[in-house]
Structure 1
Amino acid sequence: MDEEIREEGRDDAETESALLAHHRDDRVLDTGALRALAHPMRVRIYDILSQYGPQTASSLAERLGESTGSTSYHLRALAKHDLIEEVEGRGNARERWWQRPVGGVSFANPDAMKSPAGRAATQLVMNEFFHLRQEQLMRFIQGGLMSEDPEWQESSMISTAHARLTPAQSAELSHKIMAVIDEAVEKHRNQTGDDVRPVTIRADVFPLPELGEES
């Protein structure tokens, strides 16, 4: 029994070490980048590029119901802070393709949170980002859950659970979940095929308020 405990502890340490190494180069957005992203339309554009891959100002305008001039303006603002980049060898002077650089991005910058402007930008970006994610979830529940092909219905998952954990146990669980997600993303990032579609992966692990503390 003791040997099993030691082996499990070693596996957990290896998982955490591998996870830290994998995310060591993740970009932590500075205040300038956060302020550039802190616009609902730019968050939407950034999200589309993240989920669906390279787009042009025209394809974004059609998807978002905006003018090409508007999407071009926001694309330039995002590119100025290297939040997006032009796709090399694709497009021309009239039709430029844009993509989100490969790699993790963190909105949580302790230095940015020290200033009112940084806090406001961070809050706007995160509010809009998770609002979009919630919209996608509700659209799937209200329509896609029953209208998708049976294969997609059976392979999708909406699940919640609750446990009583210490901070260390919560960190351990988060690391294990992220390791599984990282493996899938790295393995299938550029996959193509008839049955391949963009899939959103959500994982939320956070403490609940004590009873009576809810606002």
Structure 2
Amino acid sequence: MSENEQGRTLDAGALKALAHPLRVRIYDILSERGPQTASTLAKLIGETSGATSYHLRALAGHDLIREVPDRGTARERWWERPKGRINLPGPDEASTPAGRAAAQIVTSEFFLLRHRALMDYLNRPASETPEGWEDAGLVTTTMLDLTPTQMAELKEEITGFINTVIERYKNDESTPGPRRVSMRTDIFDIATRSDADSEEES
């Protein structure tokens, strides 16, 4: 399996560099919209270009983003997020209190932005939906009763399918008019009242 397929697991330094709401937002925009400058990011976020430039340098210092080669000038630099997935260590995986706090900030901000993007999609007026995209999306929730082993097997199957889709479309330039698409997958067990009761009694 290649490094891109495995993904990059952020170390403590990179995680701490990313642990700022504005930096997570910048990172998310670069993932969603592609290369940007400090000025274009400032307009999108509602900050000054000086602030976005500062945060861009902090992200670049830990190789979270990089300057786009052969584009821009000395005064107007373009930045991009390198291709490939990243893996965020959970708070429980961090070895220090500072690391756990950084993991919590980054995870919370990413999921806040993810939920906001989903709600924007669900509340988008029909008049703003491009022709041909009216029924292209899918938002679904399914409840299953699984054992840990079954859930692990399902996770492996879905991960394999996602990797196949990525390989199929990542360099496809044969069809005009593509739009950036967010593909979301969640598999998690739901805490029951009995779980909470057990914790209270222990």
Pair in the same fold by TM > 0.5: yes
Match of 2:105 in 1: 124
- SS class of match (1:175): helix
Alignment equivalent of 1:200, drawn from 179, 182, 193: 182
Map Cα deviations across residues 8-44 of structure 1 (whole Å, 9 max, x no partner). Answer: xxxxxxxxxxxxx256642111111111000000000
Question: Using the alignment, how far apart are the partners of 2:94 and 2:140 within structure 1?
Answer: 32
| Structure 2: runs of 5 or more not aligned | 198-202
1:43 aligns with 2:19: no
Indicate the residue corresponding to 2:96 in structure 1.
115
Residue in 2 aligned with 1:98?
79
Distance 1:72 1:179, change over 3 A: same
Of 151-160 and 181-190, the range deviating more from structure 2: 181-190
Q: 1:182 & 1:37 partners in 2: Cα distance?
A: 26
- Percent identical among aligned pairs is 47
Cα distance in 1 for partners of 2:21, 2:177 equals 32
Is 202-211 or 146-155 further displaced after alignment? 146-155
Say which SS state the counterpart of residue 124 (structure 2) adopts: helix
Letter in structure 1 aligned against 2:115: Q
Indicate how the Cα distance of structure 1 residues 202 and 145 shifts in structure 2: closer, same or farther if over 3 A, else same.
farther
1:54, 1:97 within 8 Å by CA — same for their partners in 2? yes
Question: Within 1, Cα distance between the matches of 2:33 and 2:196?
Answer: 37
Distance 1:146 1:206 in 2: 35
More helix by share: 1
Letter of the structure 2 residue corresponding to residue 164 of structure 1: D
- Count matched residues: 195
- How far apart, CA to CA, are the structure 1 residues paired with 2:125 and 2:167? 27
CA 1:54–1:29: 2 relative to 1, 3 Å: same
| Structure of greater relative contact order (alpha carbons < 8 Å, 6+ residues apart) | 1
Residue 35 of structure 1 aligns to a residue whose secondary structure is: helix
Cα distance between partner residues in 2 of 1:214 and 1:146? 46
Counterpart of 2:184 in structure 1: which amino acid? R
Give the Å deviation of 1:154: 1.3
Q: Secondary structure at the match of 1:98?
A: strand
Tell me the amino acid that sits aligned with residue 36 of structure 2. Answer: Q
Q: Alignment RMSD, CA only? A: 2.3
TM-score by length of 2: 0.87
1:1-215 pair list within 5 angstroms? 21-22=1-2, 25-108=6-89, 113-144=94-125, 147-149=128-130, 151-191=132-172, 194-213=176-195
With structure 1 as the length reference, what TM-score do the two structures score?
Answer: 0.82
**AA matched with 2:106:** V
Gaps of 5+ in 1: 1-20
